[in-house]
Amino acid sequence: MRVVMMGTGLFAEPTFEALLASAHEVAGLVTQPDRAAGQERGSTRQTGKGMKNIALAHHIPVCQPESVNTPEGVAALREMRPELLVVAAYGQILSKDVLSIPPLGGINVHASLLPKYRGAAPIAWAIYHGETRTGVTIIRMTTGLDAGDMLAQEAVEIGPEETAGEVEARLAPLGARLALEAVGRLEAGPVEGGKQDPSQVTKAPKLKKENGLIDWSRHARAVRNQIRAMQPWPTAYTFLHRREQPPLRLLVLRASWYKNDLPHLPPGAVILRPDHEHEFHVAAGAENDRIGSEVEIHELQPAGKRPMRATEFLRGHRFQEGDRLGPEKP
């Protein structure tokens, strides 16, 4: 079958390489335009080899329109004469004009157990909300957001310490396998897909920088999940407030959570324990308004500094009663 791959980033790369290694004819790659380093900020996509680099190494034509839905983008895609579009983390919703070019339309490799977590950041929001399972779903593409019929789906467990970036890297080869199987089935004849249950739909919108700001009034479990979910971007962050010093911005890279018996401490308060002076503990929200919780920060990155373990940070920062973490402005 003659296919065109559309995708960007680490999640799409295994699917592209699987198609190139198969008996299918890859007529071209449509991927996002090259960006200067400063313009990459805000992208949640991890990059391995690079989609464009993979294409050039295999002498595959590359198309990089700002929008594939423009007349120019549609014309360029039409020249490739695809029978099927295979899409993974492309980053643009495809118009009816684009989807009507291939006789078989398009399939999308989506990193969630649809209908849950439709949108641009399904892995991050699954972890943020405390999900213990995710997966990959292959769907027929429609003009609706991740709303097409499901052709295949497979679930995996989310490790208790895994970050969004780590889960993405693990799901990418699974997506490649399921996509290749779906292309083979479509080549063999008509395929009936399963309908998504609209009552189970949840959204996973594109991440924004402010999604990384930690709200210490949430339970410590939720804070820890946020820290995992916001890696590799935008990264969870907070500000350290100390007496007579300006707020210090901290990226929080790794943490764990505990229940505690300190419900009187306000959320965000640095917990001072003489027997744990080399540990960085922070009060968080109570569970059921009764049981306090706390976060232990294991790894962090102060503004303008390199990432470091909490023990190293504490050697240069002595806490006092009243020190706290929170937004930059109270």
Please enumerate in sequence order all residues whose Cβ is within 8 A of that of 250, keeping only pairs 6 or more positions apart, or say none.
237, 238, 239, 240, 300, 301, 302, 303, 325
Give the pLDDT confidence score for residue 41 in this predicted structure: 44
Tell me the fold of 209-326: Methionyl-tRNA Fmet Formyltransferase; Chain A, domain 2 (3.10.25)
CA 257-258-262 angle, to 5 degrees, is: 125
- Phi and psi at 187, nearest 5°, equal -70, -30
**Is residue 225 within a helix (H) or strand (E), and if so which, with residue range?**
helix 220-229
Give me the residue spans of the domains in the chain: 2-200, 209-326
Distances (CA, A) of 50 to 57, 272, 300: 11, 47, 29
- Phi and psi at 135, nearest 5°, equal 170, -160
Residue entry with tokens 């937004």 = 327
Cα diameter, the chain: 72
Name the packing angle between helices 164-188 and 13-21 (round to 10°): 30
Q: What DSSP designation does 304 have?
A: T
**Chain-centre distance of CA 76, in angstroms?**
29
Give this prediction's pTM.
0.94
Q: With contact defined as beta carbons under 8 Å apart, do 257 and 223 qualify?
A: yes
Question: According to CATH, what is the number of the domain 2-200?
Answer: 3.40.50.170
What separation, in Å, do the N-terminal and C-terminal C-alpha atoms of the chain show? Answer: 59
Rounded Cα distance, 40 and 204, in Å:
21
pLDDT string in tens for the chain (330-residue length): 999 999 999 999 999 999 999 999 999 999 999 876 444 444 456 778 999 999 999 999 999 999 999 999 999 999 999 999 999 999 899 999 999 999 999 999 999 999 999 999 999 999 999 999 999 999 999 999 999 999 999 999 999 999 999 999 999 999 999 999 999 999 999 999 999 999 999 999 999 999 999 999 999 999 999 999 999 999 999 999 999 899 999 999 999 998 887 667 899 999 998 777 889 999 999 876 677 899 999 999 999 999 999 999 999 898 999 999 999 997
Residue 222 carries which side chain, given as an amino acid letter? Answer: A
Q: Which two tokens stand for residue 215?
A: 């709200």
- Using the CB atoms, write b or e for 84-103: b if 16+ within 10 Å: bbbbbbbbbebeebbbebbe
Query: Counting every residue, how long is the chain?
Result: 330
Q: With contact defined as beta carbons under 8 Å apart, do 123 and 41 qualify?
A: no
Rounded Cα distance, 1 and 105, in Å:
13
